[in-house]
Structure 1
């Protein structure tokens, strides 16, 4: 039976043999070709790492130079839009308050259509003034303008019948706002030059006697039907204006 010291030397010899074997195996595995490929792989990994670092640097630079300023600009614009929206909302709120106050005011006070004074008479939503002064057709136009009105226009049967009825109560003939001064036989209203549609000409009218009758009148002789007359004739006239809403 071997002594303990002999066993120790035996084990030590085995370890040495094992180490030698491993060294031989490694020497066989890491041949020159394998060592070259292993170095190439390490170089490629190093290049790839450099590329990754450069890409990361470029991304950071792009973000710093373009993305971040753009985000900052969008943030400012969004803030300004929010401020504008707030102002608009406040304006609508104030407007709603004004409308509510106006509605309340209307409910608390009754209003009705009325004419400038008692000298005017109302038909539908228009007021009419029968002058006591006289003048030519041009004078009549100026007289109505001085009252912030226009010469009366009998554009419908309803208006025409009202004007005739009022004229019959007052008596006399009256200028109204029609003429064919611009183009003979083309009768138009003075305010806007619109062709006269509805008409109420008296017997055999218009006849343009002596080629000088270019202005329109309500002729008493014809029961206030229409007649063409020399514009220089002196007589009364009828003015017209819109009725206004006024508190009662």
Structure 2
């Protein structure tokens, strides 16, 4: 059985007619997307098709402007029912968390100190901060690294540390909570790929809107409620894993012959 999407779930983020160009390359072409609370959405597509750029538009990391070599335009971009531009950064930080593909952090902080950075936007006591950080370290499996120096960690360990930091940041988000994860499993071994996606799924089930950019079609099919495939700047498929992971869709987008079967126990589509 495929995942069932409840279309009545509250909309958290929406974007209309998003167009993004770098020079002569159109990265996003009049894209319309909305994301719901209580739903884990995976954004899929070939390399260079606009997946990470889509996240950067959501977070306003890319400026809204037009020049000879760059253009970003859209009709509207809303977060939690308000224009994204109306949010004050400190307030938005409590509700919108972003885990990028990589971090440039080079300071010789301990793991615990890095995770504590997530509490900066929060108005909590030191004891509350310590308890929150402890809880998030346990959730992502880095408690044993609390005193380790961050620069000495492996890529996968660093990614889990930053996930704990972002979860700390969102700990007071209440019913306004959105988490964006850009390739969260790329540096992880199989065990932690599944642990991170189980955690993402649990956050969505608890009411957050969770959006992940991911290349692994089978992981996306297993954990996401909704899949969105981008190709050449357009949304070419949007729906449940059963609706989106088809031989026609995947072969056409990825230019490779594949076979689809159902997982023998859980029923989600598997790409072979």
TM-score (norm 2): 0.20
Higher relative helix content: 1
Higher strand residue share: 2
